[in-house]
């Protein structure tokens, strides 16, 4: 499971939490008009099944749902067909919850989908139980769709749900149906980790290890069996192995826990149960991995063994449950509910009960909550004992603390003003030096925010940084005990506090969220940053609490001197930030193409040499694409240079959307662009190039509300190590591939090699 896959799934899950209404997209169940036909179709010389070319209604038999037709009698091949209804769809797909075991789908004599491999005899191996998304071709309405199915399992055919919906709705539908299980699995994993920690800290108590084993196995089973697991990594067989292993581990963990609770009664039956199940787990997984039998064939025997084990466990526990502790009884009740849901799910899987989603995850949630409640119960008792133990110590500490605080307040009042000026002179120079080493304003403000408490010490205060819509957000606060008397944000539209002026202090009324006057004297300083593009902008506001500092305002360290010192420090900081802003703008102009906003040739030359060295040093693949807009000179001559500039911007925008953040997209010159793809293989680069070519071709150039038609691009692709001995060579090789694409008629992608 890659980190990128996890991040992608996390982003989609966040989207579903924020916009739950999107997960309720329309769907149309396909529940009528199904027909079946036992056996397998002969094929034409072109490899097309003859049954999809012949109507032959007398050979087909109606069925309510395409699963387990009557009269199987050991047969392993069956065909189903149905005429899909019409609907208003944008990207219509046929969603199937699962298939036993492998399937082909045909429409109009064309194979539009296949899962699993059929041999010459129409047989195949089990390759997992994923959900299926079948993209429907245009004009599918009113045409029969044929399903070729092979299964040597107890069930044969389609299973669960069969519906038509739009592709985006299907993704959100899958996530919506999996969110509950994933959330509960995460909660159970947290419980398991805590149990592992307790097991390591209290090695004499093996109960924690058994609880962690059970919750980890349950969490892994919930994740593996959730449909969203295929969005993390599309490896159906891998997830089925994980689901089988975790499912087969449940009775092992349960029996181990009961054996520890009943150790005084020598529960040899419980001991035998976990050993038998452990042997079955190892044998089933190793046998399936070795190809001795299919993984699917291990589930029915296990279900039967699991039921027998549960009956034995129930009989043993029922005799001794009154002698158990209350928390053990609670956990056993949660176990019982969880196992009951597993039995219902087992009955649905074997067709004993009609299909439906069984909330197995709720059983796991109940068990996890039981563990949490019991833990909190024990924790509360422990805390009460500690509280009584610490009463006498707290009284002594409180007495000594009061004396120390009184002494500290007296000392702080005496040296506050002297400390401020001495510290700021020492710190300010170091801060300015560090600011000059910053690469941009963002880094500089981060350093400044961290340094301001030291610069302004011992004054309490807060710093506000300009955000969007003329709002200044409080990004730092120091010296206050809760609640902080200063507002959480300032709104320029409602008025900002004026900068403090010598020699007086000004009182100020708070902005958003503050309806009362700030009763204490508040110092205000503006941090102004001047840049070539924006001019003089107030990027930050510093508010300092002056209450109690100016009791001796007549002295040499009075308010006037304090204000002057602070004002001088803020001015020097503003000048330094302005120089950083100017340097940042100059650097931006030197590396950015003014028309398209992409990086320019100069930036590409430097970074490509760096990426080439990194690729060769770490033995990582590196791909490069050169893109040329076809007949761009003719487009310019026909529509004018202004329209040509607009077209370049549109193509640049498409380029930015098509590639990863880690890829480098540059304007190489004129109508040529170049893309560097670190870590991308030749195949991945080819796919991206083809997607880019299609995306450009599909976008019309609109200039002054006039449709100028679509452009096409020619793309040359080269990759290291496939295309050259050194990474730097792929630039020349990609250029040759681009030349071949132009020679071959343009509007195409060519890969060198």
- 463 burial type by CB count under 10 A (0-12 exposed, 13-18 middle, 19+ buried): buried
CATH number at residue 219: 1.20.1070
Q: How many domains does the structure of the chain reveal?
A: 4
Q: Are residues 567 and 620 in the same domain?
A: no
CATH number at residue 42: 2.60.120.260
Question: For residues 691 and 465, what is the distance between their CA atoms, to the nearest angstrom?
Answer: 42
pLDDT in tens, 193-219: 887 787 777 665 667 777 777 788 888
pLDDT in tens, 230-276: 888 888 888 888 888 888 888 887 777 777 766 665 567 777 878 88
Full residue range of the structural domain in which residue 368 is found: 177-378
Q: Are residues 297 and 332 in the same domain?
A: yes
CATH number at residue 617: 3.30.70.270
Sign of torsion over alpha carbons 407, 411, 416, 422: negative
Q: Which residues of 512-537 are buried (b: 16+ CB within 10 A; e: fewer)?
A: eebeeebeebbbbbbbbbbbeeeeee
Residue 156 within a domain: yes
Residue 395 within a domain: no
Q: Are residues 218 and 274 in the same domain?
A: yes
pLDDT in tens, 97-118: 889 889 999 998 899 999 989 9
Per the CB < 8 A criterion, the answer to whether 536 and 528 are in contact is yes
pLDDT at 290 over 80: yes
Out of 544, 565, 590, pick the residue that ends a domain.
590
pTM (2 d.p.): 0.45
Least confident of 39-43, 152-156, 228-232, 481-485: 481-485
pLDDT at 367 over 90: no
Q: Are residues 161 and 36 in the same domain?
A: yes
Strand-pair partners of 638: none
Residue 412 within a domain: no
Least confident of 337-351, 617-631, 720-734: 337-351
Q: Could you tell me the CA-to-CA distances from 441 to 47, 438, 577, 728 in Å, in that order?
A: 66, 8, 7, 34
Angle at which helices 641-658 and 632-639 cross, to 10°: 140
Residue 674 within a domain: yes
Does residue 236 or residue 556 have the better pLDDT? 236
Q: Are residues 203 and 346 in the same domain?
A: yes
Confidence of residue 672 (pLDDT cuts 50, 70, 90): very high
Q: Are residues 362 and 340 in the same domain?
A: yes
Out of 114, 139, 171, pick the residue that ends a domain.
171
Out of 171, 196, 231, pick the residue that ends a domain.
171
Confidence of residue 36 (pLDDT cuts 50, 70, 90): very high
Q: Are residues 187 and 155 in the same domain?
A: no
Query: What are the DSSP calls for 77-89, one per residue?
Result: EEEEEEEPPP---
Residue 406 within a domain: no
Q: Are residues 346 and 248 in the same domain?
A: yes
Which two tokens mark 188? 């159970």
Confidence of residue 20 (pLDDT cuts 50, 70, 90): very low
Residue 706 within a domain: yes
Residue 714 within a domain: yes
* Residue bearing tokens 């540059």: 666
Q: What integer pLDDT is reported at residue 654 of this predicted model?
A: 92
Least confident of 135-139, 268-272, 678-682, 685-689: 268-272
Residue 424 within a domain: no
Q: In sequence order, what E strands does 86-156 have? A: 92-100, 102-107, 110-115, 132-135, 144-150
Q: Are residues 477 and 372 in the same domain?
A: no
Q: Are residues 205 and 322 in the same domain?
A: yes
Total residues belonging to the chain: 753
Q: Are residues 143 and 192 in the same domain?
A: no
Does residue 587 or residue 55 have the better pLDDT? 55
Per the CB < 8 A criterion, the answer to whether 29 and 62 are in contact is no
Q: Are residues 166 and 263 in the same domain?
A: no
pLDDT at 580 over 80: no
CATH number at residue 583: 3.30.450
């Amino acid at each position: 499971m890659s980190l990128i896959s996890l991040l992608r799934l996390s982003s989609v899950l966040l989207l579903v939490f924020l916009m739950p209404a999107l997960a309720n997209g329309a769907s149309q169940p396909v529940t009528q008009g199904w027909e079946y036909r036992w056996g397998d179709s002969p094929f034409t010389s072109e490899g097309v099944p003859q049954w999809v070319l012949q109507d032959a209604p007398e050979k087909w038999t109606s069925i309510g749902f395409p699963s387990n037709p009557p009269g199987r009698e050991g047969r392993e091949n069956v065909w189903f067909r149905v005429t899909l209804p019409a609907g208003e769809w944008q990207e219509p797909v046929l969603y199937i919850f699962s298939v036993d075991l492998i399937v082909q789908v045909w429409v109009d004599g064309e194979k539009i989908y296949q899962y699993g491999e059929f041999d010459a005899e129409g047989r195949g191996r089990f390759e997992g139980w994923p959900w299926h998304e079948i993209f429907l071709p245009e004009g599918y309405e009113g045409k029969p769709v044929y399903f070729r199915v092979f299964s040597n399992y107890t069930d044969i055919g389609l299973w669960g749900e069969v519906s038509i919906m739009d592709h985006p709705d299907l993704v959100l539908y899958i996530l919506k149906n999996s969110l509950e299980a994933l959330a509960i699995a995460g909660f159970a994993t947290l419980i398991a980790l805590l149990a592992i920690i307790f097991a390591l800290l209290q090695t004499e108590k093996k109960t924690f290890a058994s609880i962690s084993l059970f919750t980890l196995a349950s969490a892994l089973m919930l994740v593996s069996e959730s449909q969203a697991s295929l969005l993390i990594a599309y490896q159906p067989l891998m997830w089925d192995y994980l689901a089988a292993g975790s499912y087969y581990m449940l009775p092992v963990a349960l029996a181990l826990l009961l054996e520890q609770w009943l150790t005084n009664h020598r529960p040899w039956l419980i001991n035998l149960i976990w050993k038998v199940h452990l042997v079955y787990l190892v044998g089933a997984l190793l046998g399936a991995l070795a190809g001795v039998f299919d993984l699917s064939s291990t589930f029915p025997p296990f279900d039967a063994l699991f039921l027998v084990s549960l009956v034995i466990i129930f009989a043993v526990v029922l005799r001794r449950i009154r002698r158990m502790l209350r928390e053990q009884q609670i956990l056993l009740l949660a176990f019982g509910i969880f196992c009951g849901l597993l039995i219902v799910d087992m009955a649905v899987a074997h067709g004993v009960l009609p299909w439906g989603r069984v909330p197995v995850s709720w059983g796991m949630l109940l068990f996890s909550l039981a563990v949490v409640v019991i833990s909190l119960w024990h924790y509360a008792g422990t805390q009460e004992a500690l509280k009584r133990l610490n009463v006498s110590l707290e009284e002594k500490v409180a007495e000594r603390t009061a004396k120390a605080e009184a002494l500290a307040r007296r000392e702080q009042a005496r040296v506050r003003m002297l400390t401020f000026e001495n510290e700021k002179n020492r710190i300010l120079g170091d801060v300015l030096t560090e600011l000059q080493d910053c690469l941009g304003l963002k880094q500089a403000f981060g350093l400044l925010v961290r340094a301001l408490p030291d610069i302004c010490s011992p004054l309490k205060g807060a710093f506000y940084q300009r955000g969007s819509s003329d709002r200044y957000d409080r990004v730092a606060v120091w010296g206050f005990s809760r609640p902080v008397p200063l507002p959480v944000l300032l709104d320029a539209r409602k008025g900002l506090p004026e900068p403090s002026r010598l020699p007086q202090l000004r009182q100020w009324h708070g902005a958003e969220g503050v309806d009362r006057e700030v009763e204490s004297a508040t110092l205000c300083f503006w941090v102004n940053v001047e840049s070539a593009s924006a001019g003089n902008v107030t990027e930050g506001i510093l508010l300092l609490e002056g209450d109690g500092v100016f009791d001796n305002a007549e002295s040499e360290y009075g308010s006037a001197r304090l204000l002057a010192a602070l004002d001088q420090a803020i001015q020097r900081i503003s000048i330094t930030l302005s120089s950083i802003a100017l340097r940042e703008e100059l650097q931006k102009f030197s590396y950015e193409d003014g028309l398209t906003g992409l990086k320019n040739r100069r930036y590409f030359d430097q970074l490509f040499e760096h990426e080439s060295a990194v690729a060769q040093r770490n033995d990582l693949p590196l791909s490069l694409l050169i893109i040329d807009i076809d007949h761009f000179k003719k487009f310019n001559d026909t529509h004018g240079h202004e329209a040509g500039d607009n077209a370049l911007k549109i193509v640049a925008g498409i380029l930015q959307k098509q590639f990863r953040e880690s890829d480098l997209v540059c304007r190489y010159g004129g109508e040529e662009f170049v893309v560097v793809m670190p870590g991308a293989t030749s195949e991945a680069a080819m796919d991206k190039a083809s997607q880019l070519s299609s995306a450009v071709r599909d976008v019309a150039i609109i200039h002054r509300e006039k449709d100028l038609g679509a452009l096409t691009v020619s793309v040359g692709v080269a990759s290291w190590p496939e295309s050259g001995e050194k990474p730097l060579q792929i630039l020349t090789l990609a250029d040759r591939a681009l030349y071949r694409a132009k020679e071959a008629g343009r509007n195409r992608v060519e890969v060198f090699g």
